Structure 1
Amino acid sequence: MKRPILYHPDPRLKKACSAVDDVSDDLRSLAKDMLATMYDAPGVGLAAPQVGVLRRVVVLDCVKEEGETPRPLVMFNPQVVAASDALNTYEEGCLSLPDQFADVTRPAEVEVEWMDENGKPCREVMDGLWATCVQHEIDHLDGKLFIDYLKPLRRQMITRKMVKFKRELARG
């Protein structure tokens, strides 16, 4: 089931999320809904707080080439355990900030640990778009948005655009 995505500024997007102790059927259902929401948007990643759930859950699928097999990843309690000194700069966007983009510099390669939908521990080294995306989504779990990496003036400008966007949405 597709869920509504929260738009910045929403106080829930700035809150740190609680850890998942046990992967329940409710959380598996949440992850399934999040994947459906992400694909529909369309996006390459989505964190639980973006759908109003303050738990440490993210979904990703950075396979974007036509005809390539999708690779949906569901992560409970994801965390970066190692990061490269080498950096990459990507133009990032966010489903909670539609039509807003900015260059963000992050480690080019990260090693990530998480639990899968069966509660099994997983670990993977990610680079390229996958590395950027997983770091962006983990930031959401800590109440941080990609615009928090920008200079204050740019961040305020984007926030003002989002306030206007939300006002227009509310008017219908």
Structure 2
Amino acid sequence: MILPIVAYGADILRTTGKEITPDYPNLGKLITDMWETMYASSGVGLAAPQINKDIRLFIIDSAQVFENQDEDEKGKYPDEPGIKQVFINAKVTALNGEEWAYNEGCLSIPKIREDVMRNESVTISYVDENFKPFEKTFNGITARIILHEYDHIEGKLFIDYLKPLKKKMLHGKLTDISKGKVRADYKMIFPK
């Protein structure tokens, strides 16, 4: 089932997610619905707060980025061909490498894209959908998507990384999103 995406301005997007256990109600269906929602919204990642759940759960599919890149981009990033993964109760344990800029967007902040600086690699501990524990290091585009989605379960948004002047310039657009004056190609829930 395709779920509506929570728009910028909603309190849940600023909430730190709670850890969950294997007996979380209907977890399998929730994850299936999140994949369906993410693909229907043309996203490469989706975090539970974006579908109005205050839990530490996000999904990513960085393989889509590589499948849709231009020929001249091929081989540019070390994490090609990408991954498709569920992350539950994730904790970043290390950030490494140089920071680099990449143009990011967010399903909760439609029609706004900005360059964001993030580290080249991230080491993260998490459990998968079967609650099997992992601690892995990811790099390149995959690391960036993980960090973007991880921020969601920490109550942060990509616009928090922008310089004050840039944020000030986006204020009007962000206000329009929070008031429901911006439309996306997918169903959204706007703050009351």
- The 8 Å contact of residues 115 and 122 in structure 1, kept in 2 or not, is answered as yes
What is the TM-score normalised by the length of structure 2? Answer: 0.80
Which residue number in structure 1 is paired with residue 181 of structure 2? 167
Aligned letter for 1:58?
Answer: F
Structure 1 unaligned spans of 5+: none
- The C-alpha deviation readout for 1:115-162, integer Å capped at 9, x for no partner, is 111110022211111101101111111110000111233224434213
* Distance in 2 (alpha carbons) for counterparts of 1:79 and 1:158: 30
Which residue number in structure 1 is paired with residue 14 of structure 2? 14
Structure 2 unaligned spans of 5+: 69-79, 184-189
Residue of structure 1 aligned with 2:152, choices 140, 143, 152:
140
Which residue number in structure 2 is paired with residue 56 of structure 1? 56
Residue of structure 1 aligned with 2:161, choices 121, 124, 149:
149
Aligned letter for 1:80?
Answer: V
Which residue number in structure 1 is paired with residue 102 of structure 2? 90
- Aligned alpha-carbon RMSD (Å): 2.2
Greater displacement, 115-124 / 154-163: 154-163
- The 8 Å contact of residues 23 and 118 in structure 1, kept in 2 or not, is answered as no
Aligned letter for 1:147?
Answer: I
**SS of the residue 2:6 aligns to:** coil
**SS of the residue 1:163 aligns to:** helix
* Distance in 1 (alpha carbons) for counterparts of 2:55 and 2:122: 22
The structure with higher relative contact order (CA 8 Å, sep 6+) is 2
Which residue number in structure 2 is paired with residue 115 of structure 1? 127
Between the two proteins, the alignment pairs up a number of residues equal to 170
- The 8 Å contact of residues 57 and 76 in structure 1, kept in 2 or not, is answered as yes
* Distance in 2 (alpha carbons) for counterparts of 1:11 and 1:31: 22
* Distance in 1 (alpha carbons) for counterparts of 2:182 and 2:140: 36
Identity of aligned pairs, percent?
A: 36
Which residue number in structure 2 is paired with residue 124 of structure 1? 136
What is the TM-score normalised by the length of structure 1? Answer: 0.89
Greater displacement, 47-56 / 160-169: 160-169
